[in-house]
Structure 1
Amino acid sequence: MTALLPVSSAAAINQTDCGTRTDFVKVWYDGGDQVMCFANAGIVTPQLPNVWKVSSGDNRIQMFLNNEPVSMEKWSTIVDIEGLNQTLYALQIL
C-alpha cells in the first residue's frame, strides 16, 4: 500500500454531496444501497463495505479494493458483476 499512498499526511480530498454532478468520484457501496462522492486531489481511507460500483468522474484515481490495487482513468466506471463484496480501503485522487 505504500507504493500507492505517499508518506505525507496532507490530503485535500473531501467527501461531498453528489447532487447531479458527474465529475466527482462516486462510490456505490452496501451492495449499491449507499452512495458517497469525493472531490479534490488527495487520499482518504473510507473503509466502505460491499462496493458495487465506482465511477472516476473527471479524475484519475487509484484505490485498494480488498487487497488489490485498482487504477482508473478519467470518465471510467467499474461494476462488481461477480458479487465479490469488496471493501474500499483507500482512495487516491491524482
Structure 2
Amino acid sequence: MPGMKKLRSCFVVAAMAAVFAVNLPAGTAHAINIVNCGNRTDLLKFTGHDGNQTVTRVRCYANKGTMSVRLWADQISTGNNDIEYLDYNGAKVRIKRWTIMYFPNRPPHVDTITIL
C-alpha cells in the first residue's frame, strides 16, 4: 500500500508543522502611532508648543515604540503607559503610568517619546 504510506507521511508532516506553529512564540510588532484622543484617559497624551509658543499641539499615542515629538512639553499624561522621553540636552526621563505632569514655567524641550 504505497498510497497509504504517502498519506501517513503527509499526516506526520502536517502534525509536526501544527506542533511547531502552536509552540513558537508570536512575533511582537511594536509600532507607536498617533491616535484620536477623544475622551480616553488610557492613552499617552502630549500637549506641547513650538519655540515661539504660537502653536499648541495635543497628540495622543498608542502602542509600544518610539516617536519623534520635537516640541516643548506643557503637559504629559501617561494614561496606562510607562513612558520615557529624551530631551534635547540628552536627559532620559521616565514617567510611570497614570501620571500627569505639568510644566508651567520651565517646559522640557522633548525630542522623542517612548512607550515602554
Same structural fold, with TM-score higher than 0.5 when normalized by the shorter chain: yes
The answer to whether the 8 Å contact 1:11/1:43 transfers is no
Larger radius of gyration: 2
Unaligned segments of structure 2, at least 5 residues? 1-28
Query: Which residue of structure 1 lines up, in the alignment, with residue 40 of structure 2?
Result: 21
Q: In the superposition, relative to structure 1, how do residues 76 and 85 fare at CA in structure 2: closer, same or farther (>3 Å)?
A: closer
Return the letter of the residue paired with 1:54: I
Normalising by structure 2, we get a TM-score of 0.64
- Counterpart secondary structure, 1:84: coil
Residue-by-residue CA offset, 1:22-62 (whole Å, 9 max, x unaligned):
111001111693211110001111212x2111011000001
Q: How many Å separate the matches in 2 of 1:65 and 1:84?
A: 13
Residues 60-71 of structure 1 mapped to structure 2, 5 A cutoff? 60-67=82-89, 68-71=91-94
Unaligned segments of structure 1, at least 5 residues? 1-9
> Greater shift after overlay, 22-31 or 12-21?
22-31
Higher RCO, Cα 8 Å, sep 6+:
1
Q: How many Å separate the matches in 1 of 2:30 and 2:70?
A: 17
Number of residues of Structure 1 aligned to a counterpart in Structure 2: 83
Residues 1-12 of structure 1 mapped to structure 2, 5 A cutoff? 11-12=30-31
Larger % of helix: which?
Answer: 2
Residues 1-94 of structure 1 mapped to structure 2, 5 A cutoff? 11-30=30-49, 33-48=56-71, 50-67=72-89, 68-81=91-104, 83-94=105-116
Larger % of strand: which?
Answer: 1
Normalising by structure 1, we get a TM-score of 0.77
Identity of matched residues, %:
30
Structure 1: 4+ residue segments shifted above 3 A: none
